[in-house]
Amino acid sequence: MSTQITEREEESSAETEAETESPHQRRRMDEKARRAAERDAMRERAEEEVRDAETTVGLKVFRYDPEVEGKKEPRFDQFTVPFHKGMTVLDALMYARDHYDSSLTFRHSCRQAVCGSDALFVNGRQRLGCKTQLADLDWPIRIEPLPHADVVKDLVVDMEHFYDQMEAVEPYFQTNEHPSGELEEQRQTRENREKVKMSTRCIWCSACMSSCNIAAGDNQYLGPAAINMAYRFAMDEREGEDMKQHRLNIIEQEHGVWRCQTQFSCTEVCPKDIPLTEHIQELKREAVKNNLKFW
Ligand code: FES
C-alpha cells in the first residue's frame, strides 16, 4: 500500500516537473539526449570499424582535467583506432575524440605542419601530431603533453611562458635605415636571404623548448626558439648595425646564449629542421666578437 502511494507521488511530481519545465530547459534536455544518442551511434560505428579493419592501432593517451571531480588524477586512457595508410598521430587522436570520448582535448589547426599548435610528446619524443605517420612509430603509441610545461587539460599545455620568452627577443623586423624612394623595397641580397632562410621557418610549436634540459632547469633561459628568432633578425642585413647591437645585447644577457650547452636536442626534434644549435653557436661567436677590445 505504502509503495503504491510512493509511486503515485513520484509520478505526479514528475508530471508537475514536466509541466513547470520551461521551453528553454526542454530544448536543452532534448539537445542533451540527441547528443548522447549521437555519441552512442559513433561509438557503435567505431566498434564496427575496428572489427572490420585489417589493422588497428592502440593509443595510450594522457588524461587530466583539474576542473572535473574524478578526473583530477592524471591517468592514461586506451583507445583502439582502425589504421589506414598515411594516417598521422593527429588523425588517430581525432578519431578517438570523435568516436569514443568527445572530452579528449588537444590543440590542432592547419593539419599541415604550419600552425605549430599540435606539438606533442609521442613515444618519448617531441613531434608534431600532424606530421608524424603512425607507420613510422612503435605500437601501441603513447601520447603525452609536452614535458616541462604546465598541463592545462589532457594534451594541452600552457604556452604563456614560451610566448613571453619569444616576446623578449622582439621577434619583429625593426630598422632605422629606410629605402630612399617611397615605393622602394627594403632590399636584401640573395646571400643574406640564404643565410637567414632556415631561421624563418620557425612555427612557434615549442618542441625545442620542451626538449631542452637547460630550459627545464632555468626558467629564465630564453630557449632555442627565442634565440633562433633573435638570430633571424640579428643576421638580417636590412636592420642595420644599431639594431644588430641591440639584439646582441639581448641575447648576451645572463639567461641568453651562454646557457646553451650544445646538447643538440632542440635541433633533433625541430619539425622544420632548423639548425637551432648552430644558430645559437653563431650568435655566441658574434657576441664574443662584439666584446673584443683592441688597445
Ligand atoms: Fe598545425 Fe600540426 S595542426 S602544425
Separation CA 162–CA 12 (nearest Å): 59
C-beta of 108 in contact with ligand 1 (< 6 A): yes
pLDDT in tens, 5-62: 555 665 565 556 556 778 889 999 999 999 889 888 888 888 888 888 899 999 999 9
Separation CA 74–CA 77 (nearest Å): 10
C-beta of 204 in contact with ligand 1 (< 6 A): no
Quick one: which atom of ligand 1 is closest to the CA of 130? 2
C-beta of 113 in contact with ligand 1 (< 6 A): yes
- Ligand 1, atom 3, lies closest to the CA of 111
159-175+189-291 is a CATH 1.10.1060.10 domain: yes
Amino acid at 209: M
Q: How confident is the model at residue 181 (pLDDT cuts 50, 70, 90)?
A: confident
C-alpha cell at 149: 610545461
Above 70 in pLDDT, residue 156? yes
Neighbours of 194 (CB within 10 A): 10
C-beta of 271 in contact with ligand 1 (< 6 A): no
Provide the mean pLDDT of the chain. Answer: 91
Residue whose C-alpha cell reads 634565440 in the numeric block: 227
Closest by CA position to 115, among listed 134, 131, 91: 131
- DSSP character string of the chain: -HHHHHHHHHHHHHHHHHHH--HHHHHHHHHHHHHHHHHHHHHHHHHHHHHH-S-EEEEEEEE--TTSTT--S-EEEEEEEE--TT-BHHHHHHHHHHHT-TT-----SSSSSSS-TTEEEETTEEEETTT-BGGGS-SSEEEEPPTTS-EEETTEE--HHHHHHHHHT--S---S---SSTT------HHHHHHHHGGGG-----HHHHH-HHHHH-TT---HHHHHHHHHHHT-GGG-HHHHHHHHHHHTSTTSGGG-----HHHHH-TT---HHHHHHHHHHHHHHHH----
Quote the pTM value: 0.86
pLDDT in tens, 117-147: 999 999 999 999 999 999 999 999 999 999 9
C-alpha cell at 56: 588497428
Q: How confident is the model at residue 235 (pLDDT cuts 50, 70, 90)?
A: very high
Quick one: which atom of ligand 1 is closest to the CA of 114? 4
What does residue 127 show for φ and ψ, rounded to 5 degrees?
-150, 160
Fold designation for 39-156: Ubiquitin-like (UB roll) (3.10.20)
Average pLDDT in the 87-101 region?
A: 96
From 128, 155, 201, 202, give the residue whose CB has the most ligand 1 atoms within 8 Å, as the site to mutate: 128
The residues spanned by each domain of the chain are 39-156, 159-175+189-291
CB burial class (10 A; 0-12, 13-18, 19+) of residue 74? middle
Closest by CA position to 17, among listed 5, 29, 6: 29
Percentage above 70 pLDDT, the chain: 93
Quick one: which atom of ligand 1 is closest to the CA of 118? 2
C-alpha cell at 244: 644588430
Separation CA 16–CA 69 (nearest Å): 32
C-beta of 91 in contact with ligand 1 (< 6 A): no
Give the distance (Å) from ligand 1 centre to CA of residue 154.
Answer: 17
From 130, 202, 204, 269, give the residue whose CB has the most ligand 1 atoms within 8 Å, as the site to mutate: 130
